[in-house]
Structure 1
Amino acid sequence: MGAVQLDRGSWPCEPNPLRRPGFGLHGLLNVPPRTDTLCLAGPVEDIDLTDLDRFARGFPHADFDRLREHEPVWWHPPTAHTPDGEGFWVLSRYADIVAVAGDSRTYSSETGGERRGGGTLIEDLPVDWAVGVLLNMMDDPRHADVRRLLMPSVAPRTLKLIEDDLRQRAATIVDAALDKGDCDFLIDLAAELPLQAVAQLLGVPQEDRHQLFGWANVALDYDDRDLGEATARTQAAVAETRAYGARLFAAKTADPAEDLMSLAAHATIDGRPLTDMEKAMLFSLLIAAGSETTRNSIAVGMLALIERPELWRSLHEDRSALDGAVEEMLRWASSTSYNRRTATRDTTLGDRRIRAGDKVTLWWTSANRDASVFPDPHRFDIGRRPNPHLAFGRGGHFCLGSNLARMEMRVLFDTLLDRVGTAELTAPVEYTRSNKHTGVRHMPVRLTPR
């Protein structure tokens, strides 16, 4: 079917009337409906990226293959699943995503136009609650100032000091899983090393890490809700995390140590300390980001190796290929599916007119399967060179923890290759129900020692 011209008002999927503009999350919207005519390609008209059931069995790569081919800059109309009752732009090609991610003046991580909310999710979040307070929802100069405070704690030279400790932890973790034989790779292995590492870096007692892990899982998964919705369970998890963070900051203020939260507790920018809200949001962000994305990259990477046992044998024999394998796992997993920006001014992208205030979503996972950059993109290739993946984003918001994630993956897989002879699935992988993170809930495996 060729491209057809549709006025937005004629789109067949009528949005929920309770979510029409003006009645969005927290009543934040102040955005008039679009009246311009938009080109929608027939081959993509059935795609709804706000229907989380579409992501419940992993990332829907086939949908994005169609988008890259037919509508690389696509206006996603609102559906019954879409928060705020308004559409948004979907970018699926590598070059467009890199361009937008590198232009923070035109595409803000906070807000734009007449919009009274914003942030990096499809749904609007309130200004001064998350927007402008969370590090990943800040623009410069505040973003650069806060980031500069944290960077020394995750620099390669600093992380080198904890690598031996991580190797000892990894050996203990892998040996415990081997003793079980049958285990949940996600819970017992993939999550455990990143969780221990982030607890150590933040100054969280190790005995508290699983409680924080549980709260983060509840907040990030959508097993009992849809986009833009909260349940009593998710609200309780967020409140418990914030309360824990407040207690931790109080302790670090009174008795600082050599950890990241002590640094944040005593840091100043232009002579002023971080606000209590900035501290609370920073703690929640680092707990989630420091454990969630890496564990999923590890789990999905291991799944690819289970499906290609000859690669497992090859890596065991030649560890010089491990760094390249880790990069391919990161591309393959692409654990953060998308981030949103908001247009600050009227502009064009390709042949599309984007207005100030429009939501623009950058789908990193799709960029990492773009055949114009990655030949044979749906093939897991540990020898892929070059591999300029966007698993950690691009531009000023490039992932602060990228060095830590790479080191954790390298250390854990090095240990697994030393100790594990074979690995096989014993039941299907269970994925999280989310379009924001390609996550694994459970991955039952049987490990045999080498």
Structure 2
Amino acid sequence: MATLAPDTSQTPAIDPLDVSRAELYRDDTWHAPFKQLRAEAPVHRCEHSEFGPYWSVSAYKPIVEVESLPDLYSSEAGGITLADFIEGSDVKMPMFIARDRPVHTAQRRTVAPAFTPSEMTRMSGDIRRRTAEVLDALPWGEQFDWVDTVAIELTTQMLAILFDFPWEDRRKLTFWSDWAGDIELVKNDELRAKRLEHMYECGAYFQDLWNQKVGKLQTPDLISMMVHSDAMAEMDHFEFIGNLILLIVGGNDTTRNSMSAAVYGLDLFPEERARLEADPALIGNATQEIIRWQTPLAHMRRTAKQDTELMGQRIREGDKLALWYISANRDESVFGEDADVLRVDRPNARRHLAFGHGIHRCVGARLAELQIGILLEEMAKRRMRVNLVGEPTRVAACFVHGYRKLPVQISRY
């Protein structure tokens, strides 16, 4: 009996320039479509994606333009990821990175004192001590997972200190971060509900920590800073959870994935690794280059608040724009034709957009740089070389750009 071919007339063909597709990041094949977009259509309308229609902004210059006009391109109107809020399935949990002025300004100002230069100086000794302890416990010549053993452990320890979080429960922070930052979960109703359940768990745990600090003298941790601030002391429960999720994901996913990229990238470019090993004075610049090369958050979203024009393209009020930091950091017009190479002495590595630009630039950028730099310094002290012994398992998503596993062995150089 003959069988009929399935009717695909109503199914739009996959747009090869839809760079929101998870498999591009899972398989590390995102470079080619972004290269084409930068060359041919740096502001490109993608009509069909699993996140609906959106504008891809893939080049350095237009991303800086959008970020420089926060009153025109809103973070609050549609949120900061390509995933849309679904009424009835989601609960709004506002966070200051996804708020516009003046709320954003006031709430950001509350937590900013935790990341001042003086605080970095105060914390650097403890960061170095803990980094040394983790490195000294590593097995030489044996295979282990760098992501879990080093990157997650160090960043989770740091988050526990920032929040004055119970040390024995610190891995809960990683668990909540993974659920909160996985944009792919929105495509599955069951997983979306499960994520909401975990976010409530997170909120209940932190509500208890909050209650313990109410009426007490202020201490230098983020919860106490919120308790004692005019801008955040009266947050409702959902806004409280939203801001916690922001700080957890921002402090966990970004730093841990750059720490993993450091060893992956240096293994991928052994001549650059040899250059860094020969000259530890390059570590400061190499830190910036690693963050640029990895770009641990691939995109941020903005929503147009009125009709406008961007690089000759007509943007309509309500249109969704994806600012692809991951592509801007490979923009040949800014970083040169070798932008795909990790170059430890790249002269303008610091110009990267991995932390964003403008009023929403990552409030914890200095802390991330400090942790990565200290890790590289402590590895250099031990003449520690990290060698890949298998392919990494990558995050299959277009928001958090990172690694699930990274099998390595360490040797001495």
| Same-fold status (TM-score > 0.5) | yes
- Matched letter for residue 178 of structure 1: P
- 2:25 — aligned with what? 55
1:323 aligned counterpart, secondary structure: helix
- 2:221 — aligned with what? 259
Q: 2:43 aligned with 1:73, yes or no?
A: yes
Matches within 5 A, 1:288-367: 288-367=249-328
Q: 2:403 aligned with 1:440, yes or no?
A: yes
**Deviation for aligned residue 1:421:** 3.4
CA distance in 1, matches of 2:296, 2:160: 21
- 1:424 — aligned with what? 387
Contact 1:328 1:380 in 2 (8 A): yes
- Matched letter for residue 301 of structure 1: A
Q: 2:84 aligned with 1:124, yes or no?
A: yes
Unmatched 5+ stretches in structure 2: 1-8
- 2:133 — aligned with what? 172
CA distance in 1, matches of 2:296, 2:29: 10
CA distance in 2, matches of 1:98, 1:288: 23
CA distance in 2, matches of 1:254, 1:124: 38
**Deviation for aligned residue 1:129:** 5.0
Relative distance call for 1:339 and 1:296 in structure 2 (3 A) is same
The CA deviation string for residues 250-290 of structure 1, in whole angstroms up to 9 with x for no partner, is 122254533111111221139x6333332222122211211
Name which of 316, 328, 341 aligns with 1:379.
341
**Deviation for aligned residue 1:449:** 4.2
Relative distance call for 1:224 and 1:94 in structure 2 (3 A) is closer
1:424 aligned counterpart, secondary structure: strand
Contact 2:95 2:243 in 1 (8 A): yes
Relative distance call for 1:106 and 1:231 in structure 2 (3 A) is closer
Contact 2:199 2:241 in 1 (8 A): no
Per the normalisation by structure 1, the TM-score is 0.83
Q: Percent identity?
A: 31
Q: 2:245 aligned with 1:245, yes or no?
A: no
- 2:16 — aligned with what? 46
Q: 2:33 aligned with 1:88, yes or no?
A: no
- Matched letter for residue 57 of structure 2: L
- Matched letter for residue 448 of structure 1: S
**Deviation for aligned residue 1:176:** 1.2
- 1:403 — aligned with what? 366
**Deviation for aligned residue 1:180:** 7.6
- Matched letter for residue 419 of structure 1: R
Relative distance call for 1:414 and 1:229 in structure 2 (3 A) is farther
**Deviation for aligned residue 1:301:** 2.0
CA distance in 1, matches of 2:165, 2:141: 28
CA distance in 2, matches of 1:229, 1:321: 48
Relative distance call for 1:227 and 1:412 in structure 2 (3 A) is farther
CA distance in 2, matches of 1:382, 1:228: 44
- Matched letter for residue 46 of structure 1: P
CA distance in 2, matches of 1:228, 1:296: 28
Relative distance call for 1:235 and 1:164 in structure 2 (3 A) is same
CA distance in 1, matches of 2:304, 2:245: 27
Relative distance call for 1:203 and 1:421 in structure 2 (3 A) is closer
Relative distance call for 1:227 and 1:318 in structure 2 (3 A) is farther
**Deviation for aligned residue 1:239:** 2.2
- Matched letter for residue 377 of structure 1: A
Relative distance call for 1:168 and 1:227 in structure 2 (3 A) is same
CA distance in 1, matches of 2:357, 2:10: 34
2:170 aligned counterpart, secondary structure: helix
Name which of 224, 230, 235 aligns with 1:268.
230
Contact 1:194 1:290 in 2 (8 A): yes
Contact 1:13 1:78 in 2 (8 A): no
Contact 2:60 2:334 in 1 (8 A): yes
- 1:105 — aligned with what? 71
1:162 aligned counterpart, secondary structure: helix
CA distance in 1, matches of 2:130, 2:290: 22
Q: Which moved more, 1:300-309 or 1:363-372?
A: 300-309
The CA deviation string for residues 22-71 of structure 1, in whole angstroms up to 9 with x for no partner, is xxxxxxxxxxxxxxxxxxxxxx9523333312221236111100111111
**Deviation for aligned residue 1:150:** 1.1
CA distance in 1, matches of 2:215, 2:405: 40
**Deviation for aligned residue 1:224:** 6.7
Contact 2:177 2:249 in 1 (8 A): yes
- 2:4 — aligned with what? none
Unmatched 5+ stretches in structure 1: 1-11, 17-43, 112-117
CA RMSD of aligned residues (A): 2.5
- Matched letter for residue 99 of structure 2: M
Contact 1:123 1:227 in 2 (8 A): no
Contact 1:178 1:449 in 2 (8 A): no
- 2:248 — aligned with what? 287
1:372 aligned counterpart, secondary structure: helix
- 1:368 — aligned with what? 329
- 1:214 — aligned with what? 175
2:303 aligned counterpart, secondary structure: strand
CA distance in 2, matches of 1:361, 1:57: 21
